[in-house]
Amino acid sequence: MRRRSFLYSALSTPVLARLGSAATAEPKTRSPLPGLSPAQLERAARLHWESVVIDIHDHTWRLQDYDDMWKGGVTAKTYKPLADGLYWDERNRRVFPAEPFDWTGKYLACIAQVEELEKSGRPPALIIRRIEDISRAKKEGKAGVIIGNEGSLPVGSSATNLDVLYQKGMREIALYWPAGGHTRHVLEENGTLTRFGHEIIERANHLGIALDTAHLSGSPAFWEVLKQSKSPVLHTHGAARFPRTRYFAEGDLQDKEIRGIGDSGAVIGLHFCTYIKNLNGWNWSPTIDDLMDHIEYLVKVGGIDCVGIGADYFPYNRKPSEKPFMQTEKGRVEDMDWSKTFVVGLDNISAMPVFTQALVSRGFADGDIKKILGENAMRVLKQAWKGNT
């Protein structure tokens, strides 16, 4: 194994072991899920480390996040540097800049940071441009980065601008993100797509950019995307709106939407974050059991082929603040304590082996576990990226 160096820390023993073999023992960074037999733990470790594991929705960008990917056995993740109307600054805060603002320029600057990281090899990362690159990242022990975006502001005023973004590495895009207030370029007041929204779908299909329907659930536009897109889509982060849920959060999927995704060959990335999706319907952090309940429900309604991972990890400040929003020279800043918003025991991507243990504990077959971990996402990406070079 060739020597690898890092800007910030040496690799842990479990990570080094993983780079040398696909079927290592489970990492020591997290305690195993209680109640599993030694045979089940061994099976879960084997499945996790030999599988392609893809998180199809993420925002984190710090060097530590790449180290956490290795510790968690994650082959690739979709990196969304912006959401329409905000970005994350060097202090890990969500910044809502004053308009006018060059969203295309900001997006390209974020991609340039990943390019520099890839060139430096510290830590080893690989921008995923072709479906073969995912297998390459797995084989070479590199952190695979699928460049996407949550919302279409970086596209600017013409869908042909996607050509430039594609050349720079964009391989996934959500048409819409609601919180920034930038909606009229893709959504009409009645919830249908604008002409520009339809143009983005057409151009993305032509280039080989996967489409994301997240945040469109509950609107006519959700169905318009499923109908118009020539390839299956990713609903990169969502959860089921099933009977025992007492609180329906924005974006929760109705049964007919889950079936629509399943019937079209699309994939739902199950959300681990309660700030948007309260998985157990209460105001406390969800448990792994809550997460598994959602997976079983999605499988029941939409089929095993429609389920994937959309954890949505992102930078956060660990200290709570009295005033969530502050005005700075850069614009309005959201400064919150995010530390209790994720599934207990899965609050960091490094804990992803525990997710596989939970799938084993629920009795999923090996082939189905591999589908959930990454094969379903790979299938959709392969169809969306067909012919790209």
Token pair belonging to 129: 């441009």
Residue 42 pLDDT > 80: yes
pLDDT confidence tier of residue 76, bands split at 50, 70 and 90: very high
Contact 148, 78 (CB under 8 A): yes
Residue 173 pLDDT > 70: yes
CB atoms within 10 A of CB 222: 24
pLDDT score for 32: 74
Helices 220-228 + 195-207 axis angle, to 10: 30
Residue 118 main-chain phi, psi, to 5 deg: -60, -45
Contact 217, 253 (CB under 8 A): yes
pLDDT digits (tens, 9 = 90+) for 141-171: 999 999 999 999 999 999 999 999 999 999 9
**Quick one: which of 133, 123, 221 has its CA closest to 174?**
221
Token pair belonging to 23: 């079927």
Domains identified in the chain and CATH numbers: 39-384 (3.20.20.140)
pLDDT confidence tier of residue 131, bands split at 50, 70 and 90: very high
d(CA 73, CA 71): 6
pLDDT confidence tier of residue 5, bands split at 50, 70 and 90: very low
Enter the pTM of the model: 0.87
pLDDT score for 344: 83
d(CA 165, CA 154): 8
Token pair belonging to 271: 């959300």
Contacts of 250 (CB under 8 A, 6+ apart): 178, 215, 218, 276
pLDDT digits (tens, 9 = 90+) for 221-271: 999 999 999 999 999 998 888 755 555 556 679 999 999 999 999 999 998
pLDDT score for 34: 85
Helix (H, G, I), strand (E, B) or coil at 317: strand
